[in-house]
Amino acid sequence: MAKIEGHMGTLKDLIRGKAVHQRRLEFVSYPLGEGRTLVEGSLRDDRFQPGYYFDGVQAPEGVIHWMIVRMIVEGWPLTIMDIEAEMPGVPNELCRQMIDSVRRLKGVAISGGYSREVLRLMGGVRGCSHLTHLMIAMGPAALHGYWTDRSRERRPLPTSLEEVPALKQLRNSCFLWRDEGPLMDRVRQVIGKAEDE
């Protein structure tokens, strides 16, 4: 662990005084029926203490960025069928010129390579860095919302790996989902149980 001169505890112990900034990402998913889910994501930056811009003008406390994106996803691979954005809070009115950049993602699959595709279509000078960040983070959130929506109905036990929803995205996505990990072992046990019935 990196040490700060004279500090012997954890980094958490260094937190004192009032925060200066907070970024919040929030995602909520709503069932639409017929295998479709609406996912709403927001990114909000708040400045808690006044500061100064590069030109010496004072920057007040309050909202710096506040972007909201709504998209409808369905199918497999999970695909963005419709999408819209709004920008209730921006540091510069010119930022709103990029509000429609998210529409370039209509038809994009949320699968392997999703983040690269978001960067290709709306990253850098092709869009707003905050909307791009929000869209990258919305990919996994959309998958979770969709899976949660779909999991409300009990389904027959899978008899093969191909029948396990979202396994392509989960397999080797983290330590627990590694090929020889406990969750893949559990999947194989369930498949074996289904074959025995």
Phi (first) and psi of residue 103, to 5 degrees: -60, -20
pLDDT attached to residue 144: 94
Helix axes 129-150, 114-122, angle to 10 degrees: 140
CA dihedral 77, 72, 144, 126 (to 10 degrees): 80
**pLDDT above 80 for 6:** no
d(CA 12, CA 17): 13
Q: From the CB of residue 132, how many other CB atoms can be counted at a distance below 10 Å?
A: 21
What pLDDT, on a 0 to 100 scale, did the predictor assign at position 1? 47
Residues facing residue 76 across a β-bridge = none
Ordered by start, the domain boundaries in the chain are: 20-150, 161-196
- Spatial CA neighbour of 69 closest among 93, 38, 107, 90: 38
| Cis status, amide bond into 77, omega within 30 of 0 | yes
CA distance 43 to 72: 18
Query: What's residue 124's pLDDT?
Result: 96
Residue 133 has pLDDT above 70, yes or no: yes
Give buried/exposed letters for 18-53 (b at 16+ CB in 10 A, else e): eeeeeeeeebebeeeeeebbbbbbbbbbbbeeeeee
Residue 35 has pLDDT above 60, yes or no: yes
> Please, which pLDDT band fits residue 186 given cuts at 50, 70 and 90?
very high
Question: Which residue's entry shows tokens 């010496």?
Answer: 56
Distance CA 90, CA 5 (A): 38
Which H or E run includes 25?
strand 21-33
